[in-house]
Structure formats: C-alpha cells, structure tokens
A and B are shown apart, each in its own frame.
Chain A
Amino acid sequence: MINWLANPARFIRVSEKAVPWCGWTAAAVLALGLFWSLVLAPPDYQQGDTVRIMYVHVPAAWMALSVYLFVAVASAVALVWRHPLAEVAARSAAPVGAAFTFVCLATGSLWGRPMWGAWWVWDARLTSVLVLFFLYLGYIALVNAFDDPSRGGRAGAVLALVGVVNLPIIKFSVDWWNTLHQPASVMRIGGPRIAVSMLVPLVIMAAGFMLLFALLLMVRMRTALNERKAMALRLNAGAVAPRQPEPEPAVAAHTAIS
C-alpha cells in the first residue's frame, strides 16, 4: 500500500477521491462524538460537567504524540530511502501536530483552573508536552529556513529523529515522577480504568480526531505537491521562454539635450 502510493501522481489521483469521503466521515464521527460527550455522557461525580473537557483534551494529547511519531517515522523513511512522498508527509503533518499539541495544552489549562486552582503547574507531564510543542515549532522553523526546500526537509528529518527522545519522557512522566497530572487510565496494563459510559464517547472522539488528521494531512500534502509542481512549471517556463529584446539605450538623446 505504502509502496504503491509512493508515486506522487498516483497519490494525487487516489487522494482526490479519498478527501471528500474522509472529510464527511470525520465530520459525522466528530459530530456524534461531540454530541455524545457533551450531552449524553454523565457528569463526573466529583468534577461535574468540567469532565467534558477531557473528551477533547485526551484525544488531542494522543494525537500530539502520535503525529510526532508519524513525523519521525516519515523522516526516517525520507532519510533512508529518499522516499519522495515521505518528506512531503512529514513537513505537512508537523503544523497539524503542533495545533493538536496547542489544543491539548489549552484545554488542559482550562480544566486545570477549576480543578487544580491554577492555569499552569510545572509538573513533568505538562513541561514535557510544552517541550514537545517547542520541538514542533523548531521543526517547522527549520524546515522553512532554507532557500532549497529539499535541504530544509532533510535538516528537519534529522531534527525530528533527535526529538523522538522526548516521546517516552512524556508517556512515562506520570509514572517516573510524582506529578499533579493523573497517571494513565485508558492505555494501561490491566485494561482501562474508566467507566464505559465515558470510555465510549472518548474512543469516538479519538477516532474523529484521527480522521481529522488524515483529512488535513491529505489536503496539506496535495497542496504541497501542487505547489512544487507549480514552481517547477514556473522554472521551466522561465528557462524556455525567449528573452525579451532589450530596449535601445537612450543615451544619445540625453547627450544631445545636455
């Protein structure tokens, strides 16, 4: 599948069909998930309705990590096999991942104010996610800092791989340190420790976020590929088009007047 899609022209053709499907499914799943989590799901016995922030916060956090992993894997593929689409995929995914990370931090902050009494605390989980956000920003800045786009892609790929060190730190920060942030309650050994009535909308929201990511990724990749094509066309046109004959110098007239 991956190899078959490696051809950019084929990717453009396939994604053209896939984008509307993906878009409508994402909209439907997100609508269902939002309705379920904001209306149907029960309020928490301690947190009340504030718990509903969790249905956005947790999927956003999962996506923040997964998208970074995606960027890193795509970067490794781009570095090792010089895969033409992998580099485009990595650089297209990064801003989406940065947005998910920001949503995760912002919703966490909104939840923390009523629950912990502070917008922000410097515990290990929060700090490591903030570092992840900065890593995304650094990656985006580096990728766009070169005149030659492929140079930026390769430099970014090395950086993305270096930044992978942060992922296990984020994942296990709640186990290694005594954090204010609660430890994992869904993806843990021994099964989820969360009521089914809350787990179902959470999983639906996670699926919706994943579809949203797939949609945004395809749209951004198509834009990047078209941009590249347009640039190549422009360069070709510039190289082929005959030079305009230069106008005759008007020196003689000037000298005549003076």
Chain B
Amino acid sequence: MAAFLGLFRRDLSLALRQGGDTGLVLGFFVLAVVLFPFGVGPEPELLRRIGAGIVWVAALLAALLSLDRLFEADYQDGELDLLVLSNLPLELAVLAKCAAHWVATGLPLALISPLLALLVDLDPASIARLFASILIGTPALSLVGSVAAALSLGARRRSVVLSLLVLPLYIPPLIFGAGAVEASEIGDGARAYLLVLGAISLAALALCPWASAAALRQALD
C-alpha cells in the first residue's frame, strides 16, 4: 500500500510540477472547444444543440494528448524495468499511475467543463449533467488509454499509432457521455446514461490494469 501511494504521489507531483502538463491539457481542451463556434457559426441554438458533443469530443482529444506521458518517460529512463521487478504487483502499479493520470487530467477536465458549457450556451441542468458525465466517464478514458499507451511503447510513429488504437475504444464512453447530456429530463433518461457510463468505467477499472500490465511485460521482454 505504501508503494502504491508513493507511486501515485510521485506521478501526480511530476504531472503537476513538470512543465505544467495539466495546464497544457486544459489549454488544449479550452482551445479545441473555442474553435467550434468559428467553424459552425455562432448561432446559440445550434451551439446549444451540439455543445455537449463538442465538449465531450474535446475532452477525449485532450485525454488522448496526455496519454503520451503515462508510461513513455518511465520507459525511456528505465524506471519501468524497476517497477516490473519491484514487490508491488504490476497491475497495482498501473492502477496507481492511472489514478494519478486521472487526478492530473480527468478531474481538471471535469472541473473546467461547466465553464466551457457556458461558452456553448447550455442551460444549468445540462451543465450539471455534463459535469457529472465527464466526471464519471474520464476514469474509463485514463484506464482504456493506459492499455493503448502500454501497447504502443517503442513503436515507430508512436503517437499516430496510439491515437489509432485509442479512439475506437473511446467511442462507447463518448456515446453515453454525450447522450447523458442530451437525454430528455422526462423520466430516467439521463440517469440511465450515467449508470451505463459508470458501468463502463467500473468494467475498465476491473479489466484494463490486467491488459496494461500484460502489455508492459511484453514491451520490456
């Protein structure tokens, strides 16, 4: 447990202090959302209609950008070899790194999303649903992304391969995340979407550390 917490704290402080990773990801997120009104026109009705989707897609891309850093630096300087050899099971080490990644990217993305929702003119109820869906969905993004990040270690044109692997796997969270915001307030619409999104995140929590650890082991073989 001490090793788990130590690894978590180390990754988190690296992400927060070193060159402002979190700041860069947030900056990208904001800019990506701001680009859309220029592209599709500033009519509030149109933006309100597609706003949730825009914010979600931008959040996906921002999470994708940050995946590069999840294992790459540790792979380069040999730290991953030490992690494999250490007493901490590699699955738990992956979990610690994913948790740190989520606190450093997913959580800030969720926190800033209400602000961006104002830019695309969502109403308060939709903003609350958007915040909840991003908060619930981003753990799945970090966990699923960790598998692809581990698989693509050492590949040629790594970032392109990484995005090709990750984006198809990000479609289910996107469908249910954006769907939760657009679901009508009648009945259980939004709640059902959020529950499915939570199920996706929990399934990713249960399965992805195993897959990532297997991928890391074969990368270091």
Contact = CB atoms under 8 A, between A and B. Distances in A.
B83 interface: no
A141 B158 CA distance: 10
A2 to B, nearest CB: 23
B22 interface: no
A131 B218 contact: no
B39 interface: no
Interface string A141-158: 110011100011011001
A158 B214 contact: yes
Q: How many of chain B's residues touch chain A, expressed as a range?
A: 20 to 34
Interface stretch (B8-16, B43-51, B104-112, B164-172): B164-172
Contacts of A145: 152, 155-158, 161
B168 A131 contact: yes
Give the dominant DSSP class at B's interface: helix
Interface stretch (A60-68, A132-140, A198-206): A132-140
B219 interface: yes
Nearest to A127: B171
A151 B154 CA distance: 10
A146 B161 CA distance: 11
Contacts of B30: none
Contacts of A147: 156
B156 A158 contact: no
Given A155-B155, A155-B218, 5 more contacts: A142-B165, A155-B152, A158-B147, A158-B211, A162-B169
Interface of B: 147-148, 151-152, 154-158, 160-161, 164-165, 167-169, 171, 175, 211, 214-215, 218-219, 221
Interface of A: 79, 127, 131, 134-135, 137-138, 141-142, 145-147, 151-152, 154-155, 158-159, 161-162
